[in-house]
Structure 1
Amino acid sequence: MTAAYDTPVVLDRRDGPYGEVVLRRHGALFQIIANGCFLMDTSDGRSERLLVDAAYDALDGRPGPALLIGGLGVGFSLAHAAADRRWGRITVVEREPAVVDWHRDGPLGQLSAAALADPRTDVVQDDLVSYVTETSDTFDALCLDIDNGPGWTVTDGNDSLYSPAGLASCARVLKPGGVLAVWSAAPSPDFEGSLRNAGFRQVRTEEVPVARGVPDAVHLGVRPG
């Protein structure tokens, strides 16, 4: 019985616009796999919550800030933001229809149902790279969690988001003094340099220790006022 319990069970497998996406259950945990690459699971969520909290703290108390979250994932960042009444509107951009379905009508709804029902929340099905390039909307904070980090992207096209042009697009959707927060599976001093070169100020990295290996990290930068 123990061996069977410890074997991951595929709950859904789909060919999405960017390749294969899989939702698995491994014991009590849900896992998302993209093109054979492990993305995230529901085991912790501390660093995803830090992503949101660190962004808010860097805003220095501005009232009702608008938040853009890049990537719905397992829903940790959205759920945490929606539980905080200090945030104003919350927009989530998710490019995989399957991930949106797993939250709206599937097992991940147990993590995000209240957040999705919150009138402040809007889920946009789009590629984040395209969204930050094309939208006319602006936000006080942009929290990115679409890859395993700037140097470990899920698809090759995501590389452009961390390039000078991509970071310029991120800055474009931020209001003056707005905050960019980027989740990473490991600290990246090189990316700190990229943020500074793109004009962001107050660049810093916050780390979250993990059970094994290097800590998770949240890279932060502020768009000049």
Structure 2
Amino acid sequence: MIPWVQLDCAKTPDGRQELRLKRRGSEFSIMLGTNELMNSRLSGSEEALAKLSCRKIASHRQPRILIGGLGMGFTLRAALAELGGDAQIVVAELVPAVVAWARGPMAEMFGGCLDDPRVTVEETDVGQLIRSQASGYDAILLDVDNGPEGIVHKSNDALYSLQGLAAARTALKPGGVLAVWSQGSDSGFARRLKQAGFAVEEVNTRANGKRGARHVIWIATNGSRP
């Protein structure tokens, strides 16, 4: 069997933990300690995050999308495939090394999508972008950490609090969508989405098509378009 080789590492934003990029042949893995955060063979649920969201806003003209978390680019590439040439996609990635990996060791897998004219990458906290403007986005897609129960960066919890969800709703245009990827179900989070004023749909999906680990995507809609 081909052994795993560590290509690089980077500290998490709080400086307490370490992300590691590993490769085995053509397969990549991003690890946090003994936890595998993502693997290049398992893209199904991240792609579903983009597809479900973009189809909800298919009637929107010149849609503007915010993606929280670059990862291995699964959500970004799926969104680009769904959206037309008039779309704008902002990707917020808090760890600069992840962006460097996308342009470096994983560049072939990313297929130049970071250079698509529709894409802007911001090396910043997605929460800051959410709070920076009102009615700025048609969709906000959060693939941050492992979902509402984060393990990489505790400040991510603020995104999923009632206050954070209210800020996301303010940042969305009427008829906009907040879509959240999670490793598993969370009844408390679903309840907070409703308390924040969203109409909520919970979708079960798989990490790899019809196989692999079960993941959850919440599709939360911000009212209707005028």
Whether these two folds match at TM > 0.5 is yes
Q: Quote the Cα distance in structure 1 between the aligned partners of 2:127 and 2:90.
A: 15
TM (normalized to structure 2)?
Answer: 0.88
Identify the range of structure 1 (27-36 vs 116-125) with the bigger mean alpha-carbon deviation.
Answer: 27-36
Q: Quote the Cα distance in structure 1 between the aligned partners of 2:147 and 2:29.
A: 18
From 200, 204, 217, the equivalent of 2:201 is 204
Q: Quote the Cα distance in structure 2 between the aligned partners of 1:212 and 1:79.
A: 21
Q: Quote the Cα distance in structure 1 between the aligned partners of 2:47 and 2:212.
A: 20
Corresponding residue number in structure 2 for 1:18: 14
Q: Quote the Cα distance in structure 2 between the aligned partners of 1:159 and 1:192.
A: 14
Question: In 2, are the aligned partners of 1:21 and 1:98 still within 8 Å (CA)?
Answer: no
In the alignment, residue 11 of structure 2 is paired with which amino acid?
D
Corresponding residue number in structure 2 for 1:90: 89
After superposition, give the CA deviation of every residue in 1:19-74 in whole Å (9 maximum; x if it has no partner). 32211113432111235542111112111111011111222522231111000001
Corresponding residue number in structure 2 for 1:28: 26
> Alpha-carbon deviation of 1:161?
0.8
> Alpha-carbon deviation of 1:183?
0.4
Corresponding residue number in structure 1 for 2:144: 146
Q: Quote the Cα distance in structure 2 between the aligned partners of 1:209 and 1:172.
A: 30
Q: Quote the Cα distance in structure 1 between the aligned partners of 2:24 and 2:54.
A: 33
- The percentage of aligned residue pairs carrying the same residue is 36
Unaligned runs of 5+ in 2: none
Q: Quote the Cα distance in structure 2 between the aligned partners of 1:18 and 1:123.
A: 21
In the alignment, residue 163 of structure 2 is paired with which amino acid?
A
TM (normalized to structure 1)?
Answer: 0.88
> Alpha-carbon deviation of 1:209?
3.2
Identify the range of structure 1 (124-133 vs 36-45) with the bigger mean alpha-carbon deviation.
Answer: 36-45
Identify the range of structure 1 (166-175 vs 33-42) with the bigger mean alpha-carbon deviation.
Answer: 33-42
- When the two structures are aligned, how many residues end up with a matched partner? 218
- Structure 1 135/36 Cα, relative in aligned 2: closer, same or farther at 3 Å? farther
User: RMSD across aligned C-alpha pairs, in angstroms?
Assistant: 2.0
Q: Quote the Cα distance in structure 1 between the aligned partners of 2:50 and 2:28.
A: 21
